[in-house]
Amino acid sequence: MAVTENCRVSNASTAWAMGKRHIFLSEGSRQQLELLRVERRHNAAILIQAVWRGWNFRRKRWPTLKRNLHMQARARINRPRPQPIAGTPPPDLERCDQKTIQQTCSLFGLDLERPPPVPPSRSYTVTGNTKMGYPQARVMKMNYP
């Protein structure tokens, strides 16, 4: 009866009585044992299904998948370089002529000989899609001396 003490239904009656041939349980004890039995059967069914699915995959599908993976790896090694799309200009040509570049720079007040100015510093940083303000608490992954 120690099993019934560990069961979830604790406020049910756990009375029992010994007969000549049987042990007579109260309804609460019977329900607790039934819950344990159902849970045990459910877990056993999950285990059996997992083992069956793994065995069935290894027996039927794994050889085909393995063959496909080998073919893909072989095709990756021997794949020719992609050809340029017809009608596109070669990449060597400049996209903008010098006059357009000079007009754009003068419009924004930039000089071709000097690099653009450094943008002003911000009071925050962007990590991923999150805006993080200063000061930041960071966790070190390694101990440094």
Tokens representing 64?
Answer: 């085909």
Quote the pLDDT of residue 117. 77
Domain boundaries, the chain: 22-78
CA triple 40-41-42, angle to 5 deg: 90
pLDDT tens per residue across all 145 residues of the chain: 445 445 554 566 778 889 999 989 898 889 999 999 999 999 999 999 999 999 998 898 888 888 999 988 887 787 777 887 888 777 766 677 888 888 988 888 888 888 877 888 888 888 888 888 877 777 777 877 6
Using CA atoms of 18, 37, 39, 43 in order, give the dihedral in degrees to the nearest 10: 140
DSSP of 68-117: HHHHHHHHHHHPPPPPPPTTPPPTTS-SS-HHHHHHHHHHHT--SSSPPP
Quote the pLDDT of residue 46. 97
Quote the pLDDT of residue 52. 95
132 Cβ neighbours under 8 A, 6+ residues apart: 124, 125, 126
Quote the pLDDT of residue 33. 92
